[in-house]
Structure 1
Amino acid sequence: MRVIAGSAKRLQLKTLDGLETRPTTDRIKETLFNMIAPFLYDCVFLDLFSGSGGIGIEALSRGAKEAVFVEKNPKAMECIKSNLKTTRLEKKALTLTKDVMAALYCLEGERTFDYIFMDPPYHQELEREVLHYLKDSELVYEDTVIIVEAAKDTDFSYIEDFGYAVIKTKEYKTNKHVFLERAGKEEIC
């Protein structure tokens, strides 16, 4: 796994051995960042279920002002910190070795995020729990984009009930990215 573009372009990132994390492949990461790259400069990025930190590091490399990495596995967090040091992006990062819900409570009132990315373990409905929390959270403002990486068969039929609108869905062979925003946002002509 490597950084695709930006200040840390081509630098190799460490990943955990074994099946504890599923790093997003370079190809899928490149597709994702091609969609959001024009809007990353100077943004505040939240990387939930961070794994090895590849997504948040890519955002920092491409110009994000700050990224917060949330990962409860201490070995994975060591990997994230090592990758931040390798890419020289540690000064723009905050790392939280906590359960995602505990981290969200901890961050409440401290920041708002332009992008919230989550890649929870598949088929455990953790994304639903996080989205339910975020629907009333001050971490999200009207322009926040929430991106969920999930198994291709993950059901998101509850999204409207939670007060979100789907901006776009991008499907791959076995998984997908679902882009969300708070519903009811008015467009300006």
Structure 2
Amino acid sequence: MAKRPSSKRKPNRGNPPQQPVVDAPMRIIGGQLKNKRIEYSGDVRTRPMKERVREAVFNLIGPSIKEKLAIDLFAGTGALGLEAISRGATGAHLIERHVPTSKLIRANAEALELVDQVTIYAHNSFIWVKNELPKLPQTPWVVFICPPYEFFVSRAEEMDKQIRTLIEKAPADSVLIVEFDSQFDGANLPDAENWDVRVYSPAHVGIYRVGEKE
């Protein structure tokens, strides 16, 4: 009798297939645009913040988001900046070095009728901070720093410098939000004792509030 072929799959001995890291569709969670959709391409180079983490972050920031300028240094879909505007931010600067993804941000801003409140940069965020930060208005900011997690290892020096620069340059009453994972120890954040770090596994989120400058 001929043997039946095995129904078991052979183990994948190569790299595991990459999958999108967020369930589609995405949406705005709160504010004036609550439940409006945000498109996500599924490109694995983009790691949108999980919805439950985004909701937790904005709950922690609370009403202090209002009248602040949102800055997202690794913008991906633009969800954080668009959510910030929905909740009362005056506008958003969204930096995304991957050009096709930056075009997706524009499409999302257009769909939400926020084009006039959004400035999109197809740019390297490390260079952007160095060149553009001094040009920003000195009203309070809310800054999202949510890079690929491995940047905290492979580009550790650049990440540290970027965060230190933001702490130094951000106007009083600004808020910084950093997202990382267990590859990085939050105790190594600049001015570490003044970060409020929460864990929403696998994400770790640190929130820093900028006080009055001396």
TM (norm. structure 2) is: 0.77
Alignment counterpart, residue 135 of structure 2, candidates 89, 94, 109 = 109
Distance, in Å, in 2 between the alignment partners of 1:175 and 1:70 is: 21
Matched with 1:6 is: 31
Distance, in Å, in 2 between the alignment partners of 1:50 and 1:39 is: 21
Distance, in Å, in 2 between the alignment partners of 1:163 and 1:157 is: 9
Structure 1 residues 158 and 28 mapped into 2: Cα distance closer, same or farther (>3 Å)? closer
Q: Does 1:26 align with 2:27?
A: no
Matched with 2:172 is: 142
Structure 1 residues 150 and 39 mapped into 2: Cα distance closer, same or farther (>3 Å)? same
Distance, in Å, in 2 between the alignment partners of 1:26 and 1:170 is: 15
Task: Give the alignment of 1:1-189 within 5 angstroms.
Answer: 1-104=26-129, 105-112=131-138, 113-125=140-152, 126=155, 127-137=159-169, 140-159=170-189, 162-163=190-191, 165-182=193-210
Distance, in Å, in 1 between the alignment partners of 2:168 and 2:57 is: 26
Gapped regions of structure 1 (runs ≥ 5): none
Distance, in Å, in 2 between the alignment partners of 1:71 and 1:134 is: 18
Kindly indicate whether the alpha-carbon contact (under 8 Å) linking 2:186 and 2:197 is maintained by their aligned counterparts in 1.
Answer: no
Secondary structure at the counterpart of residue 194 of structure 2 = strand
Secondary structure at the counterpart of residue 68 of structure 1 = strand
Kindly indicate whether the alpha-carbon contact (under 8 Å) linking 1:2 and 1:10 is maintained by their aligned counterparts in 2.
Answer: yes
Q: Deviation of residue 157 (structure 1)?
A: 2.9
Describe the superposition over 1:36-77 as per-residue Cα deviations: whole angstroms up to 9, x where unpaired. Answer: 131111111111100000011000011111111011110110
Distance, in Å, in 1 between the alignment partners of 2:201 and 2:144 is: 20
Aligned amino acid, residue 132 of structure 1: R
The count of corresponding residues between Structure 1 and Structure 2 is 182
Q: Deviation of residue 163 (structure 1)?
A: 4.4
Matched with 2:10 is: none
Distance, in Å, in 2 between the alignment partners of 1:148 and 1:141 is: 17
Distance, in Å, in 2 between the alignment partners of 1:130 and 1:79 is: 25
Gapped regions of structure 2 (runs ≥ 5): 1-25
Distance, in Å, in 1 between the alignment partners of 2:193 and 2:122 is: 30
Q: Percent identity?
A: 25
Q: Deviation of residue 86 (structure 1)?
A: 1.0
Secondary structure at the counterpart of residue 4 of structure 1 = coil
Looking at secondary structure, tell me which structure has more strand per residue.
1
Describe the superposition over 1:123-148 as per-residue Cα deviations: whole angstroms up to 9, x where unpaired. Answer: 222532311332433xx023221110
